């Protein structure tokens, strides 16, 4: 699975309600999985399906979305966090 930070940035820019985002890549039961964690303001409407569609359109891969309140994600400039363990 190869996703470029510029692809994540493009996804985030497509959805102005997103304050900050980070793509988490991990592995479960031998399969890679990616989830775009996004911060949105409480009063902003967010449509998970639209964001999932953007993930698929831009990366050509399947991904999920998880919503967080502003300030919950690390503010370190990192767009992708690869948490997979390789042996």
Average pLDDT, the chain: 91
End-to-end CA gap in the chain: 17
Domain over 1-44+64-72+79-87 is classified CATH 3.30.300.30: yes
- Which residue matches tokens 């949105």? 40
pLDDT computed for residue 86 by the predictor = 72
Bridge partners of 34, per DSSP, are 25
* pLDDT class of 87 with cuts at 50, 70, 90: low
Distance, in Å, from the CA atom of 54 to the CA atom of 79, rounded to the nearest integer, reads 16
pLDDT in tens, 14-49: 999 999 999 999 988 778 899 999 999 887 777 899
């Amino acid at each position: 699975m190869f996703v470029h930070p510029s692809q994540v940035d493009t996804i985030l820019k497509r959805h102005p309600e997103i304050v900050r985002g980070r793509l988490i890549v991990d592995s479960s039961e031998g399969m890679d999985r990616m989830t775009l964690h996004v911060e949105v303001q409480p009063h902003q409407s967010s449509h998970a399906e639209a964001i999932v569609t953007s993930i698929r359109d831009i990366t050509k891969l399947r991904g999920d979305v998880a919503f967080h309140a502003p300030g919950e994600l690390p503010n370190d400039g990192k767009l992708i966090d690869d948490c997979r363990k390789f042996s």
